[in-house]
Structure 1
Amino acid sequence: MADGVLRGYHVLVVEDEFMLAEDLSLELADAGAVVIGPAQTLERAVELLARPDALDAAVLDVNLQGKPVYPLADALFERKVPFVFTTGYDASILPARFRSVDCCSKPIDMGRLLAALQTAIVTARAV
């Protein structure tokens, strides 16, 4: 993935594994994104979502310290903010309402994640 593909986009990172959250943040920043977070809990992610900053997209770990991230995903859907899930589980665990959302398996292929995120943003902006 070329540097700058996410230039200027504000991307929320929600991931409870510290090292993975740091890696995601660095990769997104290298791709030009303005990283919001990372948030390691659902509560912190909701706080960041409430900030007045424009949010263009998000990367959401499905399971945050034993809590599903689905309430945040629902809020993003309502705001028409595109997102990509990450999970160590099979994507079939996603509720039916999220089956159209791209899901990257852990360990994360950063190139695939960046491509999925860029596609989600472009698709959302085309609607």
Structure 2
Amino acid sequence: MAEASRILLVEDDVLIGMMLADMFDALGLPEPAQATTNDEALAIIAAESIGGALIDINLGDEKGWPVADALAARDIPFAFTSGGGDMIPPAHAHRRLVTKPFRLTDIEAAIAEFGA
């Protein structure tokens, strides 16, 4: 097992995922685990110790709700990311929403809430 839990990034846009990984580096954080689909993210959650997650609401033709539900069931903190205009289900309405374009300070604040 890793010394520290990693943050999971669930983002279907490869360039945005790379930009977020660069932000983690700029913040001095470990390289995040990355997934582009719900299935990939769920596999990572099952296999690794995850300390928190940033979940893009829109993953191609699907929504990130299954990942949110899986993390909530494991009591793992997370925040949503979105380009805007998305309705978060009532069960997750209390979660932070970070909107694109991302600012380093917004990402830092979301991750700080994870206690990572």
- Normalised to the residue count of structure 1, the TM-score between the two structures is 0.80
Distance of 1:100 and 1:65 partners within structure 2: 24
**Contact between 2:24 and 2:32, CA under 8 Å: does it hold in 1?**
no
- In structure 2, list runs of 5 or more residues that go unmatched: none
**What is the aligned length?**
113
Match of 1:35 among 15, 25, 31: 31
Report the 3-state secondary structure (helix = DSSP H, G, I; strand = E; otherwise coil) of the residue aligned with 2:50. Answer: coil
5+ long unaligned stretches in structure 1: 1-7
Runs ≥4 in structure 1, deviation > 4 angstroms?
none
Greater percentage in helix: 1
Out of 45, 49, 52, the residue aligned to residue 54 of structure 1 is 49
Query: Partners in 2 of 1:94 and 1:11 — Cα distance?
Result: 21
Note if 1:107 corresponds to 2:105: no
Q: Matches of 2:7 and 2:31 in 1, distance apart?
A: 5
Q: Judge conservation of contact 1:13–1:37 (CA < 8 Å) in 2.
A: yes
Deviation sequence 1:87-111 (CA, Å, 0-9, x none): 01235x1111111100011111221
Provide, for residues 69-125 of structure 1, a one-character-per-residue CA deviation record: whole Å limited to 9, x for no partner: 10110110011110110001235x111111110001111122112112212x13xx9
